[in-house]
Each structure stands twice: as C-alpha cells, then as structure tokens.
Structure 1
C-alpha cells in the first residue's frame, strides 16, 4: 500500500529495541479506516507496536505518521493525542476511584473543560460498555471484566478518529463480547481502529483486515478471507492426532482436528477457520494429547 497524507497510520522502517532484542524490526505498515486486527504470539511485538501508535513510545529508527501528523514533534504529538483513544494492556486505577470518577478524570486530562458536557460524555461511554448501572461503584469492587470495560470506556471518550485497543475483550463473557463487538463495529464506521487480541474469533467477526506479527516483523497483511484461504485444503478431521500435522487437537466430538501442509491421501477435509490459517502460517505445533472442547485459543 502506498502511504499518502490521508493515511491515518503510516509506519516506515520502524524499529524498536530493548537491549539486543528487536521488538519491532524495520516495520512498514499503512492502516486506513475500519478495524484492523493484530495477531501474533506473546513477545511478537504487538504491544510495542500499539504503544508506538498511541504515542507512548518513540521508535529507535524509522518514521511514524498518525492522522497526518508527526508524533515525534511536540505540536504533532499533542494534536494526535487529542484525536486518539488508547486502551493499554494494563491500566492502573487510582485508589478509591469509582468507574465514573476515573473516566471523568481521564476526560479532564483530555481537555473536556465544560463540566456539564463532560458529565454527559462520561455517562455516554459508560453506558456504551454496559457499565451505566455500576458507574458509582468503586473500581476495586468491580470484576476483572468490568475493570477492562472501564479502561475501554475512557478510550472511547469523544469518539476518537484513531482507536488503539490492546486486548479489549479479555475477561468478558460471551454475551458481553458480542455486545462489545457491536459497539466497536459502529465506531469503526467513522474511525480507524487497531485491535490486538488473542481471540481469533473476534478478528473474524470484526476486522476487515488482519496483520500477523512475529519476532517484530509483519508476516501477513491482508483481508481475513485472504488469510483463511491459505489453509484451504490443509485442515482435516481424523480419529486420532496425525503425526504429519503442524497442530492437532481433540474436539468436543472426540475426533481430532488437524492442520498442516502434508495432508494424508483420502483425508476428510473440512472448511478452515481463521485460527487454522494462523496456526498454519506460524508453523505451530500443539501437543497431540491436548484436549479442547472448543477451538484452541492462540496464545
């Protein structure tokens, strides 16, 4: 993709090192409107990439342009942050704050000066994430999933043009995740959203585009159907785990789902999923004895 001044996110040769480890290694990437899902194993560099996009980290090398501005310059960084929403992987909450008090505090930091307007907006985003009925409850008394939604609520203040979300659905039950998908899909109609997640089903349901990151490099960048197509004819069911498979796990039916390049002759092929394609792309190997009553979750 060719970068233009209107590309919301543009990374050119971006490198970030922690001592001898390259968390990001000469990354070129352009992201446009809609939702992009970021997949990769632990330690792949996903959180580092999101922190660069959120102006929290400066790369050691390369060029970053966000919403047409250069975040390495103070004026550009300030302008980007006014138009940015960021949910980090871990967010510390001040002691004794309620959900409302915390999101209100974040709104003040984001320069929502008028108290009435600010209060209306804080209530709006708490309602969006399903926390309106616990807005006055102390965060220390909320469940892990509720705290995650408080963190998301502050990122949604003002309906940002660029949303950077690190594991937004972690700790949510299926109903909450389904509801949140609807919220994010609506917001993405008018914004650019980047979501890092271990939940391949969230990417399949939400994202028009998926980027697979591993060892600090982009290994795939395309649409979800394009990634899934890589596994066509390479997923099969069998009564036992297949030694030729790169990944194999026991399903709820008691049979084994196998993913690999070397498909046995006469194998019972099945329709691939996004998770199958991701495992195939990474060349992952799961223990043959592993049981899974649902599809395996990629770490």
Structure 2
C-alpha cells in the first residue's frame, strides 16, 4: 500500500504558493508531516483529501489516480480536519450508526458490529450514550477517529489533531492512532515535534510548501550525531551567540540561565560540550537551512 505524490503544486488566488513541487511516497504506517504554522500542511492535507485541486502534479493511491477518480478514492479515505462539527443532541452511539448508514452499511447486525468496534478502538464505549457536543476536546477527537474508521479506509488523514489537548487527552489520542496505524496509511500533520517522535515510523519536514527532508525519525536524529554542542550563557549573551554560531535553540534552565544548543561539524570551543541530538534539533536545523525561516526563538 503506497500513496505517491509527484510534482504537486498549488497557488491560491491571492498569490500565495501553498505547495511547491511536492514529490513524496508514503507507505503503510504512521507518517508524520511536521512543519510550523503556515508551512502548507493543511493545504497538502486538503489536496490529498481531494477537497481542493492542485494546479499541477499527480496523486495515486495503490495505482489509483485519485484526482480523476475522486468518488472511488473517497470510499478509501478517512479525513479528520482540525475542526469538525457534531449534532448537538445526539449520542456517540446514535451518530456513529447514522454515519455508518450514510456510508452504505445497511445491514443492522453488520453496522452494530462495526460501530461497537469503532467505539472500542477509540476507548469511547463507556461514554457512547453521552451527547458528543458535551465531550471534552480529546474525546471529540477520538470520536472523529471512530467515525472515519467505519468504512475501514486505506488512507487516514489527521490534521493537527492534538492542538489544544491537555497532556492526558493527548496521550489517550496518540494511543488510539498507534493502534490503527499498523493497518492503514495514516498521515499525521502537526507542528508538535514530540507527537512525531512518539508516534511515527516515517516523517517529512515541510515549510514554504516544500518538502525539506524525509526519513525515519531515528535516521534523522542519527544524521546529527557528533554535530550538536551545548553551553550555558546569560540572557545578555544570546544575541552575540546567534551571530557567532549556528544556534539551534535556547531555553531557560532552573538557574535562570540559557542553555544553548549549537550545530557544528567540530566543537565550537572549550566552553561547549557534545550533546546527544534530538528530533527537535533536526527540526530546527532543517528549518534554519530554509530561506523561509527566522532565528530560533528563546523558549
């Protein structure tokens, strides 16, 4: 099972080039699409979901030309956008039966089994009789996954699904995605590095509508081995550090000093110690090599 994009480009009427010659192959499993806000992630997700047409390029799912066979493709698609509405006074149980009917599952016993399985996978069985409108943010996101699982899609797209969730809800939601990721192509679009690190077996970094890098998280981190260095400075020294070195990131420590991480093929000096690279280091160094980005923020 493979999703293949070749030379996909999209420019909006206001002149913004949202996608710039995107070429990528995505196999079964959890695929993380990582990039900052405004990078083009949602534009790419909507294009793959056939909610908008690219200006050029092709997209195939297992050989099916999805841009010219949208109806057939959508039978194999599950799409969870950043925001989705629900009927205010219907339970999860009733809504899922309703959506299953819309998807053509007319046999009652078959529909019951499918709905029960979707509720079980998303850990919503115990609250299936509650109105979905009263669910927490994380529960609504899990309900979104439940409804897209009804037709057993080959391709599942989730766009920024953990934004706004508290840590416990985020953990539960990621566990749901882990469970379904083994038997589907799941594209997980996010700006949160930890989500990709915890979840994905393959990933790409997108910015300015371009794919800047693609590999496994492990291989990406390994590419920075022996190239990340760290030191501690006071707040007043950070501007000079950013001028003199390739600063990856800066963060305050418990002593209210800044721990600075620097990229370099060799040690920047005696004040620096070698650090183990992280996926966040990969993310910032990849973005900093791209002309669309600015200096790393102090966090």
Relative to structure 1, the CA distance from residue 66 to residue 47 in structure 2 (aligned partners, 3 Å threshold; closer, same or farther) is same
- Give the equivalent residue in structure 2 for 1:46: 41
How far did residue 38 of structure 1 move? 0.2
- Give the equivalent residue in structure 1 for 2:295: 285
Please, which of 265, 270, 281 is the counterpart of residue 269 of structure 2?
265
CA RMSD of aligned residues (A): 2.2
How far did residue 46 of structure 1 move? 0.6
Distance between the aligned counterparts of 1:81 and 1:169, measured in 2?
24
How far did residue 89 of structure 1 move? 1.2
Name the SS for the 2:86 alignment partner.
coil
2:64 is the counterpart of 1:69: yes
2:19 is the counterpart of 1:9: no
Please, which of 76, 79, 87 is the counterpart of residue 86 of structure 1?
79
- Give the equivalent residue in structure 2 for 1:164: 157
Q: Which runs of 4+ in 1 moved over 6 A?
A: none
Distance between the aligned counterparts of 1:14 and 1:200, measured in 2?
25
2:100 is the counterpart of 1:95: no
Q: Do the aligned residues in 2 keep the contact of 1:237 with 1:269 (CA within 8 Å)?
A: no
Deviations 1:68-98 (A, max 9, x none): 212223xx32222112211111112233232
Q: How does 1:1-299 map to 2 (within 5 A)?
A: 8-19=2-13, 20-73=15-68, 76-232=69-225, 233-240=227-234, 242=238, 243-244=241-242, 245-251=247-253, 254=256, 256-261=258-263, 264-266=268-270, 267-283=272-288, 285-288=295-298, 290=299
- Give the equivalent residue in structure 2 for 1:296: none
Q: Do the aligned residues in 2 keep the contact of 1:237 with 1:270 (CA within 8 Å)?
A: no
Distance between the aligned counterparts of 1:246 and 1:37, measured in 2?
21
Relative to structure 1, the CA distance from residue 285 to residue 102 in structure 2 (aligned partners, 3 Å threshold; closer, same or farther) is farther
Structure 2: gaps of 5 or more residues = 289-293
Deviations 1:238-287 (A, max 9, x none): 24354232421114575533233356312022212111210121125344
TM-score (norm 1): 0.85
Name the SS for the 1:36 alignment partner.
strand
Deviations 1:134-175 (A, max 9, x none): 212112211122212211211222432211111233344444
Name the SS for the 1:105 alignment partner.
helix
Q: Do the aligned residues in 2 keep the contact of 1:235 with 1:276 (CA within 8 Å)?
A: no
Structure 1: gaps of 5 or more residues = 1-6, 291-299
